[in-house]
Amino acid sequence: MPEPYIRIRGLTQQFGVNEVLRGIDLDVFRGETMAILGSSGGGKSVLLRHLSGLMQATGGSIQINGVEITGLSERELGPIRRQMGVLFQGGALFDSLTVAENVAFPLRENGLMEEAEIVSHVAAALAIVRLSGQEEKFPSELSGGMRKRVALARAVVGRPACVLYDEPHAGLDPITADSIDHLIRDLQRTLGMTNVVVTHELRSVFHIADRVVFLEGGKVQWTGTAEELRTTTHAELRAFVAGDSGEPWE
């Protein structure tokens, strides 16, 4: 068995009386693309926030690359966050910053890179998402799909070991959604990135995912390969997928 890059055990998260995560056990292996499926409000975004060290768990354990991150201080979380690129649900670009400034943001925040190096990294990241030449535009001047691609460039600009994508396809036309899938695949192949992708797009799941997790009721209800998803007899998962795509499958 390959080494897990992310190892989650018994992870719980509660907001008041709302038990969102009720004991998540999950391994994400180094270099794989894992898709997370599940109902709206089921805790997928909360789980991703935990993986990027942006939230304190109520209980349980998360190891990233062998390091336990629960209970770490803000300062100790710095090196962990630098290994993780995050594409937030909705993009979350800074409206007052240009495209280039948005993409450069995590590099400037780390303070580890010379300005000339930052400029070349930003250019490379924008080329990957096919937005070269758009450096000086502001987010308000871009289409939704372009904004998404800027957010993607920002997530990968530091060549993180792992990228967390929260609904990268939402609101995109099928062609742009496909181009995002190609990017995710390319990054995995060329840089060996580990990818965790929350998505409702089943088409994309079959394009990009090595393995799939079905999160429901605050727990992992099913894990399998994309191929196993096609033929699963898990009733809840089949119902979820059928309802989601609006068409019967198989």
Ligand X SMILES: Nc1ncnc2c1ncn2[C@@H]1O[C@H](COP(=O)(O)OP(=O)(O)OP(=O)(O)O)[C@@H](O)[C@H]1O
Provide the minimum distance between the beta carbon of 40 and ligand X in the complex, in angstroms, as a whole number: 3
Single-letter amino acid, residue 87: L
Provide the minimum distance between the beta carbon of 103 and Mg ion in the complex, in angstroms, as a whole number: 23
**Rounded distance between C-alpha atoms, residue 152 and residue 148, angstroms:** 6
**Rounded distance between C-alpha atoms, residue 89 and residue 212, angstroms:** 19
CA distance to 103, 142, 146, 191, per residue, from 87 (Å): 12, 17, 14, 17
Provide the minimum distance between the beta carbon of 66 and Mg ion in the complex, in angstroms, as a whole number: 28
Provide the minimum distance between the beta carbon of 166 and ligand X in the complex, in angstroms, as a whole number: 7
With CB under 5 A as the contact rule, which of the stretches 70-78, 87-95, 116-124, 148-156 interacts with Mg ion? 87-95
The partner in contact with residue 170, picked from Mg ion, ligand X, none with C-beta cut-offs of 5 to 8 angstroms by kind, is none
Nearer to Mg ion by Cβ, of 128 and 215: the residue is: 215
With CB under 5 A as the contact rule, which of the stretches 89-97, 103-111, 121-129, 212-220 interacts with Mg ion? 89-97
Nearer to ligand X by Cβ, of 89 and 176: the residue is: 89
Provide the 10 A C-beta neighbour count for residue 222: 17
Provide the minimum distance between the beta carbon of 43 and ligand X in the complex, in angstroms, as a whole number: 4
The partner in contact with residue 171, picked from ligand X, Mg ion, none with C-beta cut-offs of 5 to 8 angstroms by kind, is none
- Cross-sheet strand order for the sheet of 67-68: 18-29, 4-15, 59-64, 67-68
Provide the minimum distance between the beta carbon of 167 and Mg ion in the complex, in angstroms, as a whole number: 6
Nearer to ligand X by Cβ, of 89 and 223: the residue is: 89
**Rounded distance between C-alpha atoms, residue 189 and residue 192, angstroms:** 5
Residue 45 touching Mg ion (CB under 5 A): yes
The partner in contact with residue 40, picked from Mg ion, ligand X, none with C-beta cut-offs of 5 to 8 angstroms by kind, is ligand X
The partner in contact with residue 34, picked from Mg ion, ligand X, none with C-beta cut-offs of 5 to 8 angstroms by kind, is none
Number of C-alpha atoms within 13 angstroms, CB side, residue 32? 22
Q: Of 27, 157, 31, nearest to 85 (Cα)?
A: 157
The partner in contact with residue 41, picked from ligand X, Mg ion, none with C-beta cut-offs of 5 to 8 angstroms by kind, is ligand X
The residues, ordered by sequence, that sit 6+ positions from 180 with a Cβ below 8 Å of its Cβ are: 148, 149, 152, 168, 169, 172, 204
**Which stretches of the chain bind ligand X, using CB under 6 A?**
15, 18, 20, 38, 40-46, 89
Concatenate the DSSP letters of all residues of 2-19 into one string.
PPEEEEEEEEEEEETTEE
How close are the terminal C-alpha atoms of the chain, in Å?
Answer: 31
Residues of this chain that bind Mg ion (CB under 5 A):
44-45, 89
